[in-house]
Structure 1
């Protein structure tokens, strides 16, 4: 799989409701994510794989659905650079939308890191 296909496979799994340990198959054991400051995380965040998986468990309780619409993808070496829109529907029916620039590093067909710049619409 190309790095863009690897990233998209993760997005599709999340859309299908996959969470927690079931997501581990998409990542290298040392995977990490860097989320730059945004409306939800004003100070940004850096998370290990275990922290990402735990956050996905919490997300299942908050969201009734989520969708990733990739508008463009550029692959350079083992990196996919994606421009996408994420839409999440909260359990109470409210919708959140973020326009995202995402850099997905891969190694041996798995995600080794995700760096994301999330621009949320006001909510």
Structure 2
């Protein structure tokens, strides 16, 4: 469980790109189920995840992960959290998230995420 919490703390601290590689296996993927930002969902391999994290730091002035509960079953870590991101223009995004992280040798091999975004206050906040 510590690895997923350490990843959240690193993201909050503004780490991105290759700075995050240490948390993942080389074949790691993220599966995002459909949501307001990605209506079709996505399956993203590690290198693309790291690239996206760099783009995220360009869009966000800060982000926070408020973890409500964490549990595990075998090699799966389950996290229920609220994510708050503040865009550089001051707009705020809030998502209520359930993450399922598969662990291998202490590293994340996959993250499956269900992101439930609160309605955007400004329709132009996010370009899909």
Cα displacement (A) at 1:90: 0.1
Cα displacement (A) at 1:74: 1.1
Structure 1 residue aligned with 2:34: 37
The answer on 1:92 being equivalent to 2:89 is yes
Structure 2 residue aligned with 1:57: 54
Structure 2 residue aligned with 1:72: 69
Runs of 4+ with >6 A deviation: none
Cα displacement (A) at 1:67: 0.3
What secondary structure sits across from 1:31 in the alignment?
A: strand
Structure 2 residue aligned with 1:27: 24
Q: Which runs of 5+ in 2 are unaligned?
A: 121-128
Residues 12-42 of structure 1, C-alpha deviation per residue, up to 9 Å, x if partnerless? 0000000001110010000000000000000
Cα displacement (A) at 1:77: 1.1
Cα displacement (A) at 1:78: 1.1
What secondary structure sits across from 1:87 in the alignment?
A: strand
For the aligned residue pairs, the C-alpha RMSD in angstroms reads: 0.5
What secondary structure sits across from 2:20 in the alignment?
A: helix
Distance, in Å, in 2 between the alignment partners of 1:41 and 1:75 is 27
For 2:79, which of 79, 82, 92 is the aligned residue? Answer: 82
Q: How many residues align?
A: 120
TM-score between both structures, scaled by the size of structure 1: 0.96
**Structure 1 stretch displaced more, 32-41 or 76-85:** 76-85
Higher relative contact order (CA 8 A, sep 6+): 1
Q: Which runs of 5+ in 1 are unaligned?
A: none
